[in-house]
Amino acid sequence: MIGVMPRIFVTRKLPGEALGRLADAGHEVDVWNGELPPPRDELLGRTTTAEGLLCLLTDRVDAELLDACPELRAVANMAVGTDNIDLAECAQRGIPVGNTPGVLTEATADLAFALILASARHLIAAAGAVRAGHWRTWEPAGWLGQDVHGATLGIIGLGKIGRAMVRRSEGFGMRLLHHDRTSGMSLDTVLADSDFVSIHCPLTEQTRGLIGERELRQMKPTATLVNTARGEIVDPRALATALREGWIAGAALDVTDPEPLAPDDPLLQAPNLIVLPHIGSASHATREAMADLAVDNLIAALAGRAMPNPVGES
């Protein structure tokens, strides 16, 4: 009987022991075991009798899904962002939504700074040249890149991850500029004066398409753009053109629009580009902590308590 043992649908296998804690708390747990996200019809079908949903950014939670699962009482997103969830629709139906903030800050900042270094010093291309047998001798003018120490770092979005980037930049003696919706310099100034621009703002209606042709043309021709936030913040067509025509020196992305990119996507043909498969939080400790927070949110909500990490309608 529904309600005696609340049923939870989890849209992917999770690292660590988090799922075991759901079962220990008396929940029936249904886990999607595919390597790819559940197709839409599977997501709708598997949530029909669910009281709890543990989902990822790849799973769209909207009115259609909520209509299909009338027993749903809680949604836990294993992510900081919630742009895959219609928060207003959930709020209207009295369904709490939780996320997993805080635990992925340092891992994501680590990756963002690694992308700065990799792009500045052409590490991916240089390593590929060695494997391809193109390393014949030491060349005085070979593989010349940009200095990171002493350079100017522009940060867009000074939240937790943005501030973590500030701490990392201090060890490299970097000059710091930042733009945020409530403080800092204008976006135009940050773009024009920075050697490296790193994006750390959330995806909202205000930031969607924030970096387009106009903004890319404002950057230095020697500058690098790094995005570990959300792919939709950067116009991919404008970025491809900027790289091909030399408006900027390079770009390094952990997120794209769309995601994933098709192998024949025009952006992947652009020069001086690094693209990673959205691995900003991909450390053992971080992903296990994210799973634990998502489970904590579900256990609390299904027990009638407030979620430890609730998300309100923005």
Q: What residues are labeled active site?
A: 230, 259, 278
**Taking Cα atoms as reference points, which of 9, 25, 17 lies closest to residue 75?**
9
In DSSP terms, 273 is beta-bridged to: 251
Round to whole Å and give the CA distance between 62 and 72. 12
Round to whole Å and give the CA distance between 177 and 127. 31
Torsion of CA 195, 238, 277, 12, to 10 degrees: 130
User: Residues of 188-218 as b/e, b for ≥16 C-beta within 10 angstroms?
Assistant: eebbbbbbbbbbbbbbeeebeebbeeebbeb
In the numeric block, the tokens 């116009």 are attached to 235
E-strand ranges in the chain read: 7-10, 28-31, 52-55, 74-77, 97-98, 152-156, 175-179, 196-199, 224-227, 250-253, 273-275, 310-311
Round to whole Å and give the CA distance between 70 and 216. 46
DSSP 139-197: -TTTT-----TT-EEEEE--SHHHHHHHHHHHTTT-EEEEE-SSSBS-HHHHHHH-SEE
The encoded tokens of residue 311 equal 């998300």
Q: What φ, ψ does residue 154 adopt, rounded to 5°?
A: -105, 125
